[in-house]
């Protein structure tokens, strides 16, 4: 069985051909994976502009699907179904992939399988490493999400923690913007942080110790004791504000009495701020992931999504995993940021569980995974 997969939830137009292997330990393999990134278009605006994103998906989708078939040396007659990201994401962008998949599925008379974007990120780990020892504690950390899941059995995902405000990747992108480092912020901060001193500027890490009246009550309920469940939620907006305050303060000191524009910070300051910021984010993510993993009796630990590309997060997770003698899985860089191969993997999982859909399903910007 070959599945064509399509992903258009944000600013990457992606298509892939994924095949079943027949090996239950390593169930899927990538025959091709094409990603057309729109980063160059959005960089000019300092972030993703939804309307520009949907228009570019329309321009790219046909060529990207054709390229995926060509790279796999396959024709549509070999494709048994189409997996597509249903949500969450930018609804105009999602609609391009969903409409394309439905039209192609209808024309070819093959099933269409709607896939949750975060299920795709989680299954990117299985696609790369084979079935994980379960239960697994898995952190999906990207520009749009910071969500912690327990996977008790294959294809079952329970949310046990999430951010109450910004996603970690969003904090990277915002901090990069205020430091004048461009978009996306993750890779450049990651690089500069390696040249800086993490102990020169320390930033507060928000711990949510009190009940949030606006939060849905159930985040980790049933899986974690209530006080632990609260602690496991994330918050990054305070950190972003702390960086902003420090930057303004230092710019003020540099400007002295001069009334002209805020002066640029010296490169050394920027590197040290990046290092301090990154230290705080990585610790906040790993403290919660490993605390939850302990309570959940996790046999393995996974980190997926764009921020899982972060070098310090990867290195520190590995060290923490060794300490508690649990394997830590991260996807290869090609599968950590948005791609269609992971959607194909999650799609094959659903297909084998009989979870295909009629053509009446729609793109769903706020679709939630339990």
Torsion angle of the four alpha carbons 127, 133, 139, 141, in this order, in degrees rounded to the nearest 10: -20
Q: Provide the minimum distance between the beta carbon of 350 and ligand KG4 in the complex, in angstroms, as a whole number.
A: 19
Per rule CB under 6 A, count of chain residues that contact ligand KG4 = 19
Nearer to Zn ion, 305 or 321 (CB): 305
Where in 120-149 is the site for ligand KG4 (CB under 6 A)?
Answer: 142-144
| Residue from 8, 32, 56, 142 binding Zn ion (CB under 5 A) | 142
Task: Using the rule CB under 5 A, give the single segment among 105-113, 195-203, 338-346, 355-363 that binds Zn ion.
Answer: 338-346
Binder of Zn ion out of 124, 162, 338, 344 (CB under 5 A): 338
Give the C-alpha separation, 29 to 92, whole Å. Answer: 30
Query: Is 307 among the residues that bind ligand KG4 (CB under 6 A)?
Result: yes
Our measurement of the distance from residue 23's CA atom to the centroid of its chain's CA atoms, rounded to an integer in Å, reads: 27
| Residues in 164-223 that interact with ligand KG4 by CB under 6 A | 169, 172-173, 184-187, 190
Which residues ranging from 346 to 365 are in contact with ligand KG4 (CB under 6 A)? none
Residue of 151, 285, 309, 328 that binds ligand KG4 (CB under 6 A):
309
> For the stretch 303-316, what's the b/e string if a residue is b when 16 or more beta carbons lie within 10 angstroms of its beta carbon?
bbbbbbbbebbbeb
Name which of 2 and 56 has its Cβ closer to ligand KG4: 56
Neighbouring residues of 12: CB distance < 8 A, sequence distance ≥ 6: 35, 36, 37, 38, 337, 338, 339
From 248-256, 301-309, 318-326, 354-362, span contacting ligand KG4 (CB under 6 A): 301-309
Separation in Å, CA 56 to CA 82, 96, 111, 306: 21, 10, 26, 21
Inter-axis angle of helices 341-352 and 117-129, to 10 degrees? Answer: 90
143 phi and psi angles, rounded to 5 deg: -70, -25
By C-beta, is 18 or 335 nearer to ligand KG4?
335
d(CA 87, CA 8): 9
8 Å CB contact between 189 and 172: yes
Least Å distance, CB 121 to ligand KG4, is 7
Other C-beta atoms within 10 Å of 91: how many? 17
Is position 56 an interface residue for ligand KG4 (rule: CB under 6 A)? no
Nearer to ligand KG4 by Cβ, of 2 and 33: the residue is: 33
Per CB under 6 A, the list member of 3, 4, 5, 10 interacting with ligand KG4 is 10
Distance CA 158, CA 178 (A): 35
Q: What mask, x for binding Zn ion by CB under 5 A, covers residues 294 to 333?
A: ----------------------------------------
Piece of 65-73, 203-211, 254-262, 299-307 that binds ligand KG4 (CB under 6 A):
299-307
Task: Give residue for tokens 């991260």.
Answer: 330
Minimum distance from residue 290 beta carbon to ligand KG4 (Å) = 19
Kindly give the pairing relationship between strand 112-116 and strand 79-87.
parallel
Q: Which of these, 366, 303, 355, lies nearest to 3 by C-alpha position?
A: 355
Interaction of residue 147 with Zn ion, rule CB under 5 A? no
User: Where on the chain is the footprint of Zn ion (CB under 5 A)?
Assistant: 142, 338
User: Where on the chain is the footprint of ligand KG4 (CB under 6 A)?
Assistant: 10, 142-144, 169, 172-173, 184-187, 190, 305-307, 309-310, 337-338
């Amino acid at each position: 069985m070959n599945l064509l997969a399509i992903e258009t939830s944000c600013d990457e137009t992606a298509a892939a051909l994924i095949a079943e292997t027949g090996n239950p330990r390593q169930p899927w393999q990538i025959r091709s994976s094409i990603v057309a990134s729109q980063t160059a278009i959005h960089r000019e605006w300092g972030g993703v502009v939804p309307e520009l994103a949907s228009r570019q998906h329309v321009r790219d989708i046909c060529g990207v699907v054709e390229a995926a078939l060509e790279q796999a040396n396959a024709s549509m007659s070999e494709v048994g179904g189409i997996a597509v990201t249903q949500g969450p994401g930018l609804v105009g962008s999602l609609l391009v992939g969903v409409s394309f998949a439905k039209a192609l599925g209808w024309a070819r008379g093959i099933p269409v399988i709607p896939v949750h974007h975060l299920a795709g990120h989680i299954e990117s780990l299985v696609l790369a490493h084979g079935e994980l020892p379960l239960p697994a504690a898995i952190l999906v950390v990207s520009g749009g999400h910071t969500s912690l899941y327990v996977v008790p059995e294959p294809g079952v995902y329970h949310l046990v923690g999430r951010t109450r405000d910004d996603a970690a990747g969003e904090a990277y992108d915002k901090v990069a913007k205020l430091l004048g480092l461009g978009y996306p912020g993750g890779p450049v901060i990651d690089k500069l942080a390696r040249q800086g001193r993490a102990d020169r500027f320390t930033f507060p890490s928000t711990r949510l110790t009190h009940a949030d009246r606006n939060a849905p009550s159930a985040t980790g309920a049933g899986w974690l004791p209530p006080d632990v469940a609260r602690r496991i939620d994330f918050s990054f907006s305070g950190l972003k504000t702390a960086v902003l305050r420090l930057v303004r303060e230092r710019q003020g000191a540099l400007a002295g009495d001069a009334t002209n524009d805020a002066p640029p910070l010296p490169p050394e300051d920027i590197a040290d701020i990046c290092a301090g910021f990154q230290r705080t984010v990585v610790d906040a993510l790993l403290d919660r992931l490993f605390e939850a993993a302990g309570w959940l009796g996790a046999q393995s630990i996974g980190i997926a999504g764009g921020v899982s590309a972060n070098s310090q997060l990867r290195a520190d997770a590995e060290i923490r995993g060794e300490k508690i003698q649990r394997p830590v899985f991260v996807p290869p860089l090609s599968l950590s940021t948005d791609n269609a191969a992971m959607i194909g993997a999650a799609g094959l999982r659903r297909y084998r569980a009989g979870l295909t859909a009629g053509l009446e399903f729609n793109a769903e910007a706020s679709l939630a995974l339990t």
